[in-house]
């Protein structure tokens, strides 16, 4: 089985000004050394405005956007295109975060177009899926997440999947302090791997990184990421302060 390197990715959401991002970068040296020692990939997805600062001041870590347009250019007010990211050397983007789905009406089909546009440009898409509390309580998590995976990744080739990372984030666990138990998270991530096997074959399914996200903290990162099908974490709140970010790397 191919070794899947662990990945710790911060999602800053609408937090941190450029000045605050600089403060974060100033205390990153030890964290980077530690990550290198432990062979963990680390990265941060800040606001668009902070991307350039991070590319310059946080060398050696992944710097990703939180979303990107599926279109190359044109009359799409307030959108940011792939060529704009590329110019900054940014080659990763989160796609389909539940907050984008909820507040900006993103659909699986819309996400599919964005994932396709990214992989076509040899850029990495971190495609987010996850169910609401209602869906979870109705016992329909797999059905929901399975559809998000199938529709969001429809039409991609096996080779395209080299540039796709999946993030499973149950909506009821995001920013709520309610983490899914390692068992719940592992069950769903294992299920996602089965869907990937069905869509792209065993080789691809064994290679793709699947992250867990939702109230990951230094105190619970170890047991969550210790699960067989969980290859890392997408972290919101606990990725904002350099000392918490360091503690996540230490404990992973």
Paired residues of 81 in beta bridges: none
Only segment of 118-126, 196-204, 209-217, 221-229 that touches ligand PGA (CB under 6 A): 209-217
**Binding-site size, ligand PGA (CB under 6 A):** 13
In the complex, residue closest to ligand PGA by CB: 236
Among 82, 126, 149, 174, binds ligand PGA (CB under 6 A): 174
Instruction: Answer yes or no whether residue 175 interacts with ligand PGA by CB under 6 A.
Output: yes
Closest CA to 53 of 78, 26, 93: 26
Among 237, 245, 246, 248, interactor with ligand PGA by CB under 6 A: 237
Cβ-based neighbours of 52, under 8 Å, separated by 6 or more: 88
* Member of 11, 66, 93, 112 binding ligand PGA (CB under 6 A): 11
CB 85 within 8 A of CB 55: no
DSSP 132-143: -HHHHHTT-HHH
Cβ atoms of 31 and 242 within 8 Å: the answer is yes
In the complex, what is the shortest distance from the CB of residue 247 to ligand PGA, in angstroms, rounded to a whole number? 14
Q: Does 201 bind ligand PGA (CB under 6 A)?
A: no
CA 201 to chain centre: 22
Pairing state between β 124-129 and 62-65: unpaired
> Which residues contact ligand PGA (rule: CB under 6 A)?
11, 169, 174-175, 213-216, 234-238
- Catalytic residue IDs: 97, 169
């Amino acid at each position: 089985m191919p070794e899947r390197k662990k990945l710790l990715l911060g999602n800053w959401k609408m937090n941190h000004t450029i000045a605050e991002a600089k403060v974060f970068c100033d205390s990153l040296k030890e964290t980077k050394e530690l990550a290198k020692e432990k062979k963990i990939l680390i990265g941060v997805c800040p606001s668009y405005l902070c991307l350039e600062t991070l590319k310059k001041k946080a060398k050696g870590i992944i710097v990703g956007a939180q979303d990107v347009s599926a279109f190359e250019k044109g009359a799409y007010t307030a959108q940011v295109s792939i060529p704009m990211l590329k110019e900054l050397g940014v080659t990763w983007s989160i796609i389909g975060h539940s907050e984008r789905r909820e507040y900006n009406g993103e659909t699986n089909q819309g996400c599919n177009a964005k994932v396709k546009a990214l992989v076509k440009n040899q850029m990495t898409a971190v495609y987010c899926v996850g169910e609401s509390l209602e869906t979870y309580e109705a016992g329909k998590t797999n059905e929901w997440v399975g559809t998000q995976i199938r529709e969001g990744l429809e039409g991609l080739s096996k080779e395209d999947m080299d540039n796709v990372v999946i993030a499973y984030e149950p909506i009821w666990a995001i920013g709520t302090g309610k983490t899914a138990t390692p068992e719940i998270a592992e069950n769903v991530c294992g299920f996602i791997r089965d869907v990937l096997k069905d869509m792209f074959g065993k080789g691809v399914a064994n290679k793709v990184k699947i992250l867990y996200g939702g109230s990951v903290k230094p105190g619970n990162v170890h047991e969550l990421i210790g699960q067989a099908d969980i290859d890392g974490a997408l972290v919101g709140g606990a990725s904002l302060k350099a000392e918490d970010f360091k503690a996540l790397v230490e404990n992973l």
